[in-house]
Structure formats: C-alpha cells, structure tokens
Amino acid sequence: MKVLVPIKRVVDANIKIRVKPDQTGVELNNIKMAMNPFCEIAIEEALRLREKGIVEEIVLVTAGPRKSQETLRTGLAMGADRGILIETEQSLEPLAVSKLLKAIAVKENPNLILLGKQAIDDDNNQTGQMLAGLLD
C-alpha cells in the first residue's frame, strides 16, 4: 500500500509571532520555520502502519517556497521514502492546496492519504475535507 502524506511548513510552534508594523500579516523575516505538528503526527501514523506491514511506501508532498525542502528533509529523516515539492512563492489558500493535492494523488495513485487535522498557522481545518470532496 502507498500512503501520501501532505505536510506544511509553518512558523515553529515555540516561537512567539509578531504582527508586521503595517498590520498586513505575521512577520516572517528571520523567523524559525518547522513542520506543522499535526503533519508530524500524520507521518508518525504512516510509519506505524509500515511497522505493521500494511504500508510499503510513504510519499510526502508539500507546496511552498524552495525553503520547504527543509520540511521534506525532516519528514524523510523521520522515515518517509520520497518527497515531492511543489515550488511556489505564492501564498496558497486551502482550495488551491486541495486542487494541487488532487493532481498529485491522481499521478501517484496512493491507497491512502493521511493529513494532519489542521495547520497551526491559519487554523482553517479545510484542506482535508476539500480534497476528499474533489476526489469523491
């Protein structure tokens, strides 16, 4: 069985965030970034399934700037087999991410997709449900 695990690069959960002086968002310059903690849980579950002999391959996917490679490397170090980076400098909303994940799912043909319950940066909890709808 092949498992696809989408992961997200977010501001490290232990960092105190600051609002930009112009009030247009969160200050990201010189801020430590890390993998979303709920995405780590999804990878850990995929690894547990592999230990039980259910899963043969774990494929990670993330969308973001080139620096998102670091997040993929973290997942690979945890034990995932492959990583896919969809490189973009644009800020992506949940529907756009869901459409990208659908395209990857069609290409990779996984038997299971495991997502974290939500991202700690935007707290939307929408991507998984939208992806499920797009994939029927």
Most confident of 12-21, 83-92, 101-110: 101-110
Which of these, 24, 26, 25, 23, lies nearest to 12 by C-alpha position?
26
39: three-class secondary structure by DSSP: helix
For position 48, what pLDDT does the model report?
97
Calpha distance 66→59 (Å, rounded): 18
**Confidence check: pLDDT of 104 > 80:** yes
Residue 87 has which token pair? 């490189």
Domains, the chain, ranges and CATH? 2-134 (3.40.50.620)
Highest mean pLDDT among 31-35, 88-92, 95-99: 95-99
Q: Looking at residues 4-17, what average pLDDT do you find?
A: 85
